[in-house]
Amino acid sequence: MHRFHMPTDVRCGAGSLEALTTCKTWGKRPAILCGKQAARTHGHLNTILGYLPNALVLDGFPENPRFSDCETYADRCRAENIDLLVALGGGSVMDGAKALALLARHGGTCRDFLDPEHGKDALPLIAIPTTAGTGSEVTPYAVLVDDARNRKSTLKSPALFPRLALLEPALSTTMPRDITIATGLDALSQAMEGMLSTQSTPTGDMLALDACRRIRHWLPVALQQPAQVEAREQLLFAAMLSGMVIAQSGTTLVHGMGYYYTLEHGIAHGAANALLLPPLFWWNAQHAPEKVTRLAEALGHGSRPAPSEAGYALTESLYHFYRLLHFESAAREHGVPQEAAASMAAHIMAEPGRFKHQHGTLTASQVQALYDAAWAGSVEDLPGALAIAPR
């Protein structure tokens, strides 16, 4: 038996924003949460204000938001009697808006809601993604930085599912090239991880493979023709699919290890995940070779590889795709020093929650070997280092 729960109403395609005219009854005092510049600079904020002219604008929201950021913005929401939230932006804005929806309804701090049993209801939330990556518009998660630990932590509750997700492709045509790549790779990582999670579902696997195929085909098109609406719509749809996948299955050690690249070395979240996909999926191929071969085929391998060739086939498919995107596959090219691997591996081993949903049991030396391979941009030395111990 498996379950697939998706309560968010999704509207995808040109004209999606018209749905804003039907949700005014959800609240009398709406607020629009957005980032520091892009929503204003590109006119997206004015577009939304055309539908919700009485909305309070909460702009300047940071990337990789901290608990304290969300608590400050939530205080403003309570002071203004906000009863409806609109998230306009990328994953950071959408995750932050989820935290605001909880805090504005209940008060307290983000730490109070780390237990999913708390916060069973929240303010209604409308998610309008302007990037095609996190799929946060269809997940019950808010990934935020815990100030006290300087580590990313996740709020999780069914109440965090947005009530409505509007995927308007015209809003994403203004994404810069580096953000297009990083967010596209984030969606790819989520789809792949969700399929290899120990909590994966047959429905999720089908969606994950579809997302991978779409990203493989349409991400290069969007880079070559940034204003092409069809490419942007396809990537938004793929990112949404990846969000639906991880809403059921969660993510794996790729995300757990990637957070250290982001917090300690400033690498964009999606790029950090992409650096770790080849080595982690070499490891995954030893545990779930059939699934890895299906992913290799979805990512462009000429024919379905034999299970014994799964790790090689998938990593080669990934490295080929990265070259097509002109994305540097070695962490050293993103500013990570080689000696950082040992300390990051030690931190990972001290946080068993990072291994949640991950196949197999990894030692500290094996985690370091994964970081070493990501630093080098090669899995050549992994077969011996990641051999599964005989049972």
Same domain, 87 and 138: yes
Average of pLDDT values for 45-57?
96
pLDDT of 5 higher than 50: yes
Same domain, 264 and 340: yes
Pair 130, 89: CB distance under 8 Å = yes
Residue 295 to residue 318: CA distance in whole angstroms: 10
Same domain, 314 and 233: yes
Residue 382 pLDDT grade (very low, low, confident, very high; cuts 50, 70, 90)? confident
Within-domain flag for 2: no
Within-domain flag for 220: yes
Same domain, 216 and 168: no
- What are the residues whose beta carbons fall under 8 Å from the beta carbon of 39, sequence distance 6 or more? 45, 59, 88, 89, 130
Same domain, 148 and 186: no
Same domain, 312 and 183: yes
Average of pLDDT values for 56-65?
95
Phi, psi values for residue 343, rounded to 5°: -70, -40
Out of 105-114, 325-334, 377-386, the most confident range is 325-334
Average of pLDDT values for 218-238?
97
pLDDT of amino acid 228: 96
Instruction: State the average pLDDT for the chain.
Output: 94
In CATH, what number is assigned to the domain containing residue 259? 1.20.1090.10
List pLDDT tens digits, range 242-259: 999 999 999 999 999 999
pLDDT of 390 higher than 90: no
Same domain, 209 and 264: yes
Q: Which of 100-104, 112-116, 260-264, 265-269 shows the lowest mean pLDDT across its residues?
A: 112-116
Average of pLDDT values for 14-20?
96
For the chain, the domain total comes to 2
Within-domain flag for 390: no
pLDDT of amino acid 389: 53
Query: Scanning the structure block, which residue is given the tokens 């510049």?
Result: 37
Same domain, 105 and 156: yes
Residue-range definition of the domain harbouring residue 351: 177-385
pLDDT of 117 higher than 90: no
Same domain, 78 and 190: no
pTM: predicted TM-score of the whole model, two decimal places: 0.95
Q: Which residues pair with 88 in a beta bridge?
A: 34, 128
Residue 334 to residue 68: CA distance in whole angstroms: 29
Same domain, 301 and 161: no
Within-domain flag for 1: no
Of the residues 172, 207, 239, the one at which a domain ends? 172
Q: Which of 2-16, 91-105, 285-299, 375-389 shows the lowest mean pLDDT across its residues?
A: 375-389
List pLDDT tens digits, range 205-225: 999 999 999 999 999 999 999
pLDDT of amino acid 74: 96
Of the residues 146, 172, 198, the one at which a domain ends? 172
Bigger pLDDT: 119 or 31? Answer: 31
What share of the chain in percent tops pLDDT 90? 87
Give every strand in the sheet of 30-34, ordered side by side: 9-12, 164-167, 125-129, 84-89, 30-34, 56-58
Within-domain flag for 375: yes
pLDDT of 314 higher than 80: yes
Same domain, 190 and 140: no
Same domain, 18 and 154: yes
Residue 383 CB: number of other CB atoms within 10 A?
12
pLDDT of amino acid 388: 66
Of the residues 149, 172, 195, the one at which a domain ends? 172
Bigger pLDDT: 316 or 384? Answer: 316
pLDDT of amino acid 305: 80
List pLDDT tens digits, range 155-201: 999 999 999 999 999 999 999 999 999 999 999 999 999 999 999 99
